[in-house]
A and B are shown apart, each in its own frame.
Chain A
Amino acid sequence: MSKEHDKGMSLIVKVITRLTVGLILLYGIYIVLHGHVSPGGGFAGGVIIALSFVHLFLAYGKDVALKKLPKTAMSFFESMGAILFLSIALLGFTGGYFFLNFISKGEPFRLFSAGIIPLCNIAISLKVGAGLFAIFVVLVLLKFEWEKKE
């Protein structure tokens, strides 16, 4: 094994993680994109996306996970999601009022339907996924004052 993979859990956990982490990320994206058709939505899908990175963090250690999603990217995605959500809401003013569903509704039960709802789902998932992973990283790497002295 290469040297950068020495950290983290055992080899079994790493192999299983390598097989499953992509599927978890894909499932999160699926939940987000189908939020207006089936149960799920932006928040749940965003948490699943964050969990896939948490999975990587727990199995491979800090460096590998933070190389995939650095701290600057985390804050970028988090702010981007918030701005995207707010700007979708503000774009409703083109037709009249805040949060107006200004895109055509389309045919129900299709993936491309329901106007702004899928876009809002995507924005919320970006925000929630990056934000919760940032909270996790920060809380795990946090050291208290009395622990440093030992």
Chain B
Amino acid sequence: MIELYVLLIFMIIGAIVAIEMKDLLSSVIAVGAVGLGLSIVLLILKAPDVAITQLVVEILCLIILIRATLKKDLPFSTTGRWLLNSLITTGFIVVFLFVAIKAFKDLPEFGYPIMRVANTYLKEGLVKTGASNLVASVILDFRAYDTLGEATVLFTAVIGVLAIIRRIGRKKKDEVVEEDDE
């Protein structure tokens, strides 16, 4: 259990570093450190499926962040109503902590969930679906509707991104747009 707390503290430090760093590249790398820490935490909690997905998606997000956004001159404003913003943020944090303390009292102890539905899946998953990876049997057989919804969300996201790009491409039809390759 101690290594879990070490990793959690490492992730919190990484997140604070990512916010406070002035250099964008260092900030993105700190975010990556947080994600890799999260994937090791998931491995310690014995969830290798989620750990693999987290690791891989983290790498893809980092590459997209570094390659696609870092070199653009994005507008970045530091001035503004920082006093009001800090006050609102603090207020929200206090409210959320208060509600969380009230709500988390009723949750089962960490690592000992109430397994009413999961018990059935664990007992009958192998017999009913024939898949020895119980996670696959849950996401693609018992709860396949969820996976269908997730696939629809991804499909919509891809179509949205492609539509945005096509609009710009049409706008500058006669102009040859140079694309940088490095």
Residue positions of A touching B, CB distance < 8 A? 7-9, 31, 35-44, 47-48, 50-51, 54, 58, 61-63, 75, 78, 81-82, 85-86, 89, 98-99, 101, 105-109, 113-117, 120-121, 124, 127-128, 131-132, 134-136, 138-144, 146-148
Q: How far is the CA of A42 from the CA of B151 in the complex (A)?
A: 11
Q: How far is the CA of A7 from the CA of B179 in the complex (A)?
A: 12
Q: Are the C-beta atoms of A138 and B161 separated by less than 8 Å? A: yes
| Nearest-neighbor residue (CB-CB) of A115 within chain B | B130
Report the minimum CB–CB distance from A65 to chain B (whole Å): 10
| Nearest-neighbor residue (CB-CB) of A62 within chain B | B181
Q: How would you classify the secondary structure of chain B's contact residues: helix, strand, loop or mixed?
A: helix
| Nearest-neighbor residue (CB-CB) of B69 within chain A | A139
Report the minimum CB–CB distance from B70 to chain A (whole Å): 11
Extra contacts besides A51-B56, A127-B155 (19): CB < 8 Å: A36-B133, A36-B137, A38-B133, A39-B49, A40-B133, A41-B49, A44-B52, A44-B56, A51-B59, A78-B155, A99-B145, A99-B148, A105-B130, A115-B129, A116-B141, A120-B140, A134-B158, A138-B165, A142-B68
Report the minimum CB–CB distance from B63 to chain A (whole Å): 6
Chain A to chain B contacts (Cβ below 8 Å), 20 pairs: A37-B132, A39-B48, A41-B136, A54-B60, A58-B63, A85-B151, A89-B144, A99-B148, A101-B141, A107-B130, A117-B131, A121-B136, A135-B157, A136-B67, A138-B162, A139-B68, A141-B179, A142-B68, A143-B177, A147-B72
Q: How far is the CA of A124 from the CA of B151 in the complex (A)?
A: 7
Q: How far is the CA of A61 from the CA of B144 in the complex (A)?
A: 38
Chain B residues with CB under 8 Å of A107's CB are 130
Q: How far is the CA of A35 from the CA of B133 in the complex (A)?
A: 7
Chain B residues with CB under 8 Å of A40's CB are 49, 52, 133
B135 within 8 A of A: yes
Q: Are the C-beta atoms of B130 and A58 separated by less than 8 Å? A: no
B172 within 8 A of A: yes
| Nearest-neighbor residue (CB-CB) of B48 within chain A | A39
| Nearest-neighbor residue (CB-CB) of B179 within chain A | A141
Q: How far is the CA of A133 from the CA of B129 in the complex (A)?
A: 32
Q: How far is the CA of A124 from the CA of B136 in the complex (A)?
A: 12
Chain B residues with CB under 8 Å of A36's CB are 131-133, 136-137, 140
Report the minimum CB–CB distance from A106 to chain B (whole Å): 6
Chain B residues with CB under 8 Å of A98's CB are 145
B86 within 8 A of A: no
Q: Are the C-beta atoms of A136 and B60 separated by less than 8 Å? A: yes
Q: Are the C-beta atoms of A117 and B147 separated by less than 8 Å? A: no
Q: Are the C-beta atoms of B151 and A31 separated by less than 8 Å? A: no
| Nearest-neighbor residue (CB-CB) of A132 within chain B | B60
B83 within 8 A of A: no
Q: How far is the CA of A6 from the CA of B64 in the complex (A)?
A: 23
